[in-house]
Chain A
Amino acid sequence: MAEFRMPSLGSDMEAGTLIEWRIKPGDSVRRGDVVAVVETRKGAIEVEIFTTGVVEEILVPVGEQVPVGTPLATIRAEGEEQPPPSVEATGRATVSAPPTSPAATTARAAAGATRLRVSPAARKRAAELGVDLGRLAGSGAAGAITLDDVEKAAVARPPTRPAYRAAGMRQAIAAAMARSKREIPHYYLGTFIDMRRALDWLRSENERRPVPVRLLPGALLFKAMALALRQAPELNGFWVDGEFKPGAGIHPGSAIVLRGGGLVAPAVHDADSKSLDEVMAALRDLVQRARAGALRSSEMSDATITVTSLGEQGVETVFGVIYPPQVALVGLGRIVERPWVVDGQVVARPLMQATLSADHWVSDGHRGAQFLALLDRLLQEPERL
């Protein structure tokens, strides 16, 4: 019997609230299926399962907040015998099984068996009010549950869970960053990169591309950084149990600020071997899903390094704090026109400051400097990215 537990979706997460089950006892699940939605301080995250088998029992009902590691459900792995029913198991299942009221069945059937259609605003409000989405029949398009449905449902009874997200998020970030600064001996490097070639190449490339497949400078930078990391394995991985474990692949996390408060850095898997178009598509998809509250647990937990592009908000330089257990963070500033000397002449050039914060337990400034120099070189040949 395998247990499906509340996952850790980052070093700053201590607990999560179960807001939706997409499985019920008796359902077959496969490794990689999204089986639940968990509300964390980073918003609603779709949680995948890593076992293939049949759902035996749901242990935690919708609306309950539990610490990381708590068993949420039991799964009978493929080939395992079904255990004889016991009084204890039956009793427990009755208490904690998800609702099977007619309304819930209708809502699920209307939404295509397992996938509830819920607007992000309705999902957020439901979590705040402790409303079980599985019990609602949606009145929106295609049976979608709307904000109005949630608020009507909540009138019947008092709220069971306070809105803790905004204030809690600040606290969670502070705790993780205090730990980072206490335990990780950071060093910081920065360099100006002349972006003229990269931007010229992008402009001509985008002129011949239709709107949906154009590229942003961010995609170019992300790909170049992933390629540079191949030569700097000490910056890509985790510090676990007193030693460095190199990342199994290059999975940089892209820091995205959420409007509801908070920060997520979901990973782009194997960014170094993806084409520029694939990197662009992946980044687009992550931003859209982060906004809609539909990120996946695997993306949240396995980034091997973080990239922050605070330049988007106008700053020229950002020296970030490493997100443990990662060992490095790359900061990308705004691209600005500045006087620059080329062949003895002062000329106007679009410059970007790239920075590196890295962990002295694992690497030193020499290695970090090589990484930034390689990033610069790669960006001078954008057509090869």
Chain B
Amino acid sequence: MNEVQIRDIVLDALSAVTPDADTSGLAPDKSFRDQLDYFDSMDFFNFVVGLHKAFGIDIPEADYPRLSTLDACTRYFKTKLG
């Protein structure tokens, strides 16, 4: 899977939990939390569940801080999927 494909999947998972927000103009290096108003721990939880389903790999809780931006997510899954 290449970076573009990974990024698309991440964005899909994000849109699924924030259907009321516009995720098209997100800065890739800034945290989702800072850019999406009211993105709380439950939204983040639902986002991680979506990623887990889409990529089919375990995501330990200790890794959650590595999923805070679009770039970070892409790097994380690129490494994980090898």
Contact = CB atoms under 8 A, between A and B. Distances in A.
A292 B17 CA distance: 8
Interface stretch (A51-59, A73-81, A205-213): A205-213
A283 interface: yes
Contacts of B59: 211
B19 interface: yes
A284 B41 CA distance: 10
Interface size class of B (residues with CB under 8 A): 20 to 34
A216 B37 CA distance: 20
Contacts of A197: none
Interface stretch (B4-12, B24-32, B43-51): B43-51
Contacts of A293: 20
Contact of A211 (B20, B43, B52): B52
B82 interface: no
Nearest to B41: A216
Interface string B29-63: 00000001110111101101100110000111100
Interface residues on A, range: 20 to 34
B81 interface: no
A259 B38 contact: yes
Contacts of A258: 20, 38
A216 B61 contact: no
Interface in A253-279: 257-260
B68 interface: no
Contact of B20 (A259, A283, A284): A259
B49 A260 contact: no
B18 to A, nearest CB: 6
Which applies to chain A's interface (DSSP): helix, strand, loop or mixed?
Answer: helix
A288 interface: yes
B20 A260 contact: yes
A212 B49 contact: yes
Contacts of A214: 45, 61
A292 B20 contact: yes
A291 B42 CA distance: 11
B21 A287 contact: no
Contacts of A210: 52, 58
Given A211-B52, A214-B61, A292-B20, A312 B45 contact: no
B46 A257 contact: no
Interface in B55-79: 58-61
Contacts of A207: 60-61
A11 interface: no
B41 A291 contact: no
B19 A284 contact: no
Contact of A288 (B21, B46, B58): B46
Nearest to A124: B20
A349 interface: no
Interface of A: 119-121, 203, 206-207, 210-212, 214, 216-218, 257-260, 283-284, 287-288, 291-293, 309, 312-313
10 contacts: A206-B61, A207-B60, A212-B49, A214-B45, A216-B41, A216-B42, A283-B42, A287-B40, A287-B46, A288-B46
Given A212-B52, A257-B38, 18 more contacts: A121-B20, A203-B61, A207-B60, A210-B52, A211-B48, A211-B49, A211-B58, A212-B49, A216-B42, A217-B41, A258-B38, A259-B18, A259-B36, A259-B37, A287-B43, A287-B46, A292-B19, A312-B40
